[in-house]
Amino acid sequence: MSTHDAGPAAGTHAARSPEYRVAHLQDRLASGELGELGVRTEVRGSTVLVHGTVPSARCREDVLSTVREELAGLEVHCDIVVSEPSSPDHAEELS
């Protein structure tokens, strides 16, 4: 066996890399039942940053659940904002 032969373990290591796992998470968020395109993920050293905007608190919880499942064991920072529109609590004054 040569020293350049990575063997079957090479694919296993790549499959566990943070970059691979983040790419898989992005695919799930974009194409799954969540269909969430407003969330971005970035690998920054040994940490993964998940950020963006979602339409509701329920959607945020679904995204966070998926993130926990896909990125278990990694250090993850989440900054997901809910853009749920609400009614104004007072009348707007026009000049």
- At 1-31, the pLDDT tens digits run 434 444 344 444 455 789 999 999 999 888 8
The amino acid at 34: L
The closest alpha carbon to 24, from 72, 57, 59, belongs to 72
**pTM, full prediction:** 0.68
The closest alpha carbon to 78, from 60, 57, 51, 52, belongs to 51
Tell me how far apart the alpha carbons of residues 68 and 84 are, in angstroms, rounded to a whole number. Answer: 23
What's the mean per-residue pLDDT of the chain?
A: 79
Tell me how far apart the alpha carbons of residues 3 and 58 are, in angstroms, rounded to a whole number. Answer: 51
